[in-house]
Amino acid sequence: MTITIVGTGLIGGSLALDLRANGFAERLIGVEHTSDHAVEAIQKGLVDECMELAIACAQSDVVVLAVPVNPMLHMLPNVLDLIPANGVVIDMGSTKHALCKAVDNHPRRGRYVAAHPMAGTEYSGPSAAIPHLFHAKAAILCETERSDPDALKLAERLFKSLFMRMVYMNPAEHDVHAAYVSHISHITSYVLALTVLEKEKSEGNIFNMASGGFASTVRLAKSPPKMWRDIYEQNTENILDVLNAYIENMTQFRNLIQEGQFDHTFSLMEEANQIRRILPN
Amino acid sequence: MTITIVGTGLIGGSLALDLRANGFAERLIGVEHTSDHAVEAIQKGLVDECMELAIACAQSDVVVLAVPVNPMLHMLPNVLDLIPANGVVIDMGSTKHALCKAVDNHPRRGRYVAAHPMAGTEYSGPSAAIPHLFHAKAAILCETERSDPDALKLAERLFKSLFMRMVYMNPAEHDVHAAYVSHISHITSYVLALTVLEKEKSEGNIFNMASGGFASTVRLAKSPPKMWRDIYEQNTENILDVLNAYIENMTQFRNLIQEGQFDHTFSLMEEANQIRRILPN
Task: Give ipTM to 2 decimals.
Answer: 0.94
- Write down the pLDDT at residue A82: 98
Cα–Cα distance for residue pair B133/B128, rounded to 1 Å: 11
Which residues of chain A fall below pLDDT 50?
A: none
- Write down the pLDDT at residue B266: 98
- Write down the pLDDT at residue A191: 97
Estimate to the nearest angstrom the gap between the alpha carbon of B81 and the chain centroid. 25
Q: Do B120 and A271 touch (CB under 8 A)?
A: no
**pLDDT tens column, A114-129:** 999 999 999 999 999 9
Q: What angle do CA B214, A91, A152 make, to 5 degrees?
A: 110
Q: What angle do CA A109, A113, A117 make, to 5 degrees?
A: 155
- Return the CA Rg of chain B: 21
CB contact at 8 A, B66 and B5? yes
Q: Do A257 and B243 touch (CB under 8 A)?
A: yes
**pLDDT tens column, B190-236:** 999 999 999 888 777 777 788 888 999 999 999 999 999 999 999 99
Q: Do A233 and B272 touch (CB under 8 A)?
A: no
The DSSP code for A144 is: G
Q: Is A214 within 8 Å of chain B by CB?
A: yes
- Write down the pLDDT at residue B168: 96
Cα–Cα distance for residue pair A256/A223, rounded to 1 Å: 32
- Write down the pLDDT at residue B278: 80
Q: Which of A181, A185, A257 lies at the smallest CB-CB distance from B206?
A: A181
- Write down the pLDDT at residue A209: 81
Which residues of chain B fall below pLDDT 70?
A: 281
Cα–Cα distance for residue pair B86/B111, rounded to 1 Å: 8
Taking the CA of residue A84 and the nearest CA in chain B, the distance in Å comes to 33
Estimate to the nearest angstrom the gap between the alpha carbon of B57 and the chain centroid. 23
Which residues 6+ apart lie within 8 Å of B35 measured at CB? none
Q: Is B222 within 8 Å of chain A by CB?
A: yes
Q: Do A195 and B137 touch (CB under 8 A)?
A: no
- Write down the pLDDT at residue A211: 82
Cα–Cα distance for residue pair B31/B6, rounded to 1 Å: 5
